[in-house]
Structure 1
Amino acid sequence: MAATAWLERTDLTPYGGVEPNAEWAAEVRRLAEERDAVLLAHNYQLPEIQDIAHHTGDSLALSRIAAESEASTIVFCGVHFMAETAKILSPEKTVLIPDARAGCSLADSIDADQLRAWKAEHPGAVVVSYVNTTAEVKAETDICCTSSNAVDVVRSIPEDREVLFLPDQFLGAHVRRVTGRDNLHIWAGECHVHAGINGPELAEKAAANPDADLFIHPECGCATSALYLAGEGTVPAERVHILSTGDMVKAARQTKSSTVLVATEIGMIHQLKLAAPEIDFRAVNDRASCRYMKMITPAALLRALREGKDEVHVDPEIAARGRASVQRMIEIGQPGGGE
């Protein structure tokens, strides 16, 4: 599916009509216990969804928590590829996503057929796929990576081997810049939300907040601009941090700045404020909201728990191959933040 396909859909009205009040919270927790379910919420979810979850974090960390949980049911409040990853790592468990229509422009910027064709053009190349990909793409992958360990994964590959890096072009550019590897081929995919956080608005915000730290997700269109600002001395290099969502939470607890400019999806601000309430976290682009993440509404979560919808299925053979690519990544080292 093309990267813009999700943007062109018209059937994406979220489930509504439920207020996230104390009564709702009590019913969600009651139903979760009744269904023997663990509730997982991605960092980009609505604040009320993050607050009701048993665990909040990035997608890979949550999938690993799900695999270790004794619960028989996983309710994954995130987008579809994330629930698929949980199913890949926990094939024996029931995995529910509150709204299966919650897709991802980045994951859908390459499909398995396109990847197979790309591999045919580069026989012998090692395929490195970001975890933000579908199960079918993971099944065609040699090694998965996260935004935290993408550099380490690529460095683990012999230097004389070609590498096909997918699907995010900005994360790929970051890896190429750090490794200096000229035989790294990058797929031209992007997250439409992160790509929309651009260099000029980052420069403007940085100039207006000269003492602020910059937390930049490597999927952002402004990541290169952030490094340019540091290289030019416009922003002190020690204030520029290229971070996964999981690592942003860690950095929030360690920063000495009173203000932090954050370049990622705005749902992340909620977790950062919880981690360090004394710090003023400001979005570089306060319009950077993923409509697919926000489809997991209070009503959708109730629906999932009451009706057992929407269940996520992954073909066992595809799941086994995808699981192998994730396991190879874990064997290289701790994967850190999922995205």
Structure 2
Amino acid sequence: MKNLKEKILELKKQKNAVILAHYYQEADIQEVADYVGDSLGLSQEAAKADADIILFAGVHFMAETAKILNPNKKVILPDLKAGCSLADSCPPDLFGAFALKHADHMVVTYVNCSAEIKAMSDIVCTSSNAVKIVESIPEEVPILFAPDKNLGKYIMEKTGRKMLLWDGSCVVHEAFSLDKLIALHKKHPDAEIIAHPESETHILKTANYIGSTAGMIDYVKKSSKAKFIIATEAGILYKMQQEVPGKTLIPAPSNEDNTCACSECAYMKMNTLQKVYDCLVSESPEIIVPETIREKALLPIERMLELSK
């Protein structure tokens, strides 16, 4: 009997499909993926995907981005309910009214938002390139940044640019407990704290390094230190540990007393290996982006990809 992973690998070949997976996906899914990465890497891979079908093992806005970049390819997502609390915190009707009130502002949006929000944007960014993109905008141009206020505050601190921030956030990155983090660091005083810029300011102030998921992996690889406390979604630990087998990685504690005592994205974990298989078999659920929205959303994504070369 072939196991599920073998069946998925066979189906991929038969259907000329490619699997793109985010670092926060469960380990089994990462193992069958053609590419595992952060939002920027996944956007770049989606843009050059040479396949008839793109199966996106991530959340809805990521699959939408792949569809925006690949209108003639079938883009499928294992679970349509795999959403994003950050994207949900920026409803298109409310954001549209807000942007209209500040029509003189250049709209910079973090990739963690819906296709409708991207369609209202001048340029999109990821946590990997947000600072670079904001710095590329002339100083006299006012900026409206959405949806993540924590990432926005971090960019403001790094660039010295004042920006108008939309009041959105990610529940996973806001779930880290400062008290528990300090207590954990006391137990491991030799550990460096590394954090994702979607975390709250008080968490970022404790960090030795702040960066995107790909940036964090790169930092741990290059660092001479042997122990790290990781303040981002715990799914990153699987790939990170593969890259640094000899180092100790400890997930930062969340406020909740959950089974892993770390921060996990329930949306990311909605995708399972079985759902990946079923999705490949049925070639559904399929992601559809209306052409009028797709065309408008494509421009700010292309501007980002051009600046990220």
TM-score (normalizing by structure 2): 0.93
Name the counterpart of 2:89. Answer: 109
Instruction: List runs of 5+ in structure 1 lacking aligned partners.
Output: 1-20, 231-239, 335-339
Write out per-residue CA displacement over residues 265-295 of structure 1, whole angstroms, 9 at most, x where no aligned residue: 0000001001111111100123311111111
Aligned-pair distance for 1:173? 0.8
1:247 aligns with 2:215: yes
Does structure 1 residue 41 correspond to structure 2 residue 9?
no
Q: Secondary structure at the match of 1:248?
A: helix
Is the contact between residue 59 and residue 267 of structure 2 (CA under 8 Å) also seen in structure 1? yes
Say whether residues 1:215 and 2:194 are aligned partners: yes
Aligned to 1:125: 105
Shift of 1:208: 2.2
Give the letter aligned to residue 82 of structure 2: A
How far does residue 68 in structure 1 lie from its aligned partner after superposition?
1.5
1:181 Cα offset (Å)? 2.2
The alignment status of 1:277 with 2:281, answered yes or no, reads no
SS of the residue 2:3 aligns to:
helix
**Amino acid paired to 1:187:** W
Corresponding residue to 2:52 among 57, 62, 72:
72
> 2:150 pairs with 151, 170, 182, which one?
170
Alignment correspondent of 1:204: 183
1:188 pairs, out of 146, 157, 167, with 167
Question: Does residue 1:88 correspond to 2:56, yes or no?
Answer: no
Unaligned runs of 5+ in 2: 254-260
Return the alpha-carbon distance in structure 2 between the equivalents of residues 324 and 245 of structure 1. Answer: 25
CA-atom RMSD, angstroms? 1.6
Structure 1 counterpart of 2:258: none
CA spacing shift, 1:225–1:265, aligned 2, 3 Å: closer
Matched AA of 1:214: I
Partner deviation per Cα, 1:112-166 (whole Å, 9 max, x = no partner): 2222111122121010000111111000000111112212211222222221111
- What amino acid is aligned across from residue 111 of structure 1 in structure 2? P
Report whether the alignment pairs 1:51 with 2:31.
yes
- Trace 1:146-165 onto structure 2 (pairs within 5 A): 146-165=126-145
How far residue 244 of structure 1 moved from its aligned partner, in angstroms, is: 0.2
Runs of 4+ in 1 over 3 A off after TM superposition: 223-226
Map of 1:226-241 to 2, 5 A cutoff? 226-227=204-205, 229=206, 240-241=208-209
CA distance in 1, matches of 2:108, 2:49: 28
SS in 1 for 2:249: strand
C-alpha distance in structure 2 between counterparts of 1:156 and 1:308, whole Å: 40
Query: Do 2:148 and 2:168's aligned partners in 1 also have CA atoms closer than 8 Å?
Result: yes
Q: Which amino acid aligns with 1:254?
A: K
Aligned pair partner of 1:294 in 269, 294, 299? 269
Q: Which amino acid aligns with 1:249?
A: I
* Structure 1 residue 22, shift from structure 2 partner: 6.2
> What residue in structure 2 maps to residue 319 of structure 1?
294
TM superposition shift of 1:258: 1.0
Percent of aligned pairs with the same residue? 39
Q: Distance between the aligned counterparts of 1:185 and 1:270, measured in 2?
A: 36
Change in 2 beyond 3 A, CA 1:22/1:213: farther
Which string of whole-angstrom CA distances, capped at 9 and with x for unpartnered residues, describes residues 23-80 of structure 1?
1111111111111100111100011111111111113312321331221100000000
Contact 1:126 1:163 in 2 (8 A): yes
Aligned length: 302
Measure how far apart 1:203 and its partner are. 2.1
Q: C-alpha separation between the residues in 1 aligned to 2:42 and 2:203?
A: 31
Partner residue in 2 for 1:265: 233
Where does residue 18 of structure 1 map in the other structure?
Answer: none
Contact 1:167/1:190 (8 A) holds in 2: yes
